[in-house]
Structure 1
């Protein structure tokens, strides 16, 4: 009976210590509209560098196409140049999440060309950005879209 309790405790501890495998990275290519639409299905929360090469034996000749941040498990990119070039191979290289880019200062121009400076409120650590939208009273469509 004591051996059964020890075995149960060991299996319970083992189940808490094992990590679930990450979602495998896969690429899908859709050429129905002409240019290739490359879709990355991978682990969310990471950045993926999308690259292309004309042939696999020259694996060092990979060209950078885009960096995609996966908020969900899938992201697609339209390779507009794929219709002009010979068929090519694609790959996705996984990176850790990129640090957020912060501007020390930011200048906005209004519709009359007047310059305004964007002031940051650094005390709110949970706010990523504040968006200000100014419209006239006749912009009913925009008023419906903005909460």
Structure 2
């Protein structure tokens, strides 16, 4: 009976050790998850903003909707991964909703007005975080060759 008890205790110890090792590996994987830099996020936003602008100019409303979704996702990443003051991005949700409405309505004039507001919100955010030298505007040339 004693040898059987010894084997059982050894198996339990090995199982517990394996379980702890697996938990440690999971924790390590979580802590090494890639977090994009704010620069990477903002670069993606600027590229998607330009594509959004040109997709509306070409009246490609499906592409415009897609690019706006990418802009929204990157705004989310900026707030999720980086400590930005809530006031900095406060107006972006309203502006994104306006742009979404203009795309749904296929209204160029409303789009231009709401895009202009988004541009102002971007620049206000840059000022709020002490980076007023980062100025965005309405695209004047395609960012792609």
For the superposition of Structure 1 and Structure 2, which TM-score range results when normalised by the shorter chain? under 0.3
Q: Which has the higher helix share?
A: 2
- TM score, norm. by length of structure 1: 0.25
Q: Which has the higher strand share?
A: 1
- TM score, norm. by length of structure 2: 0.25
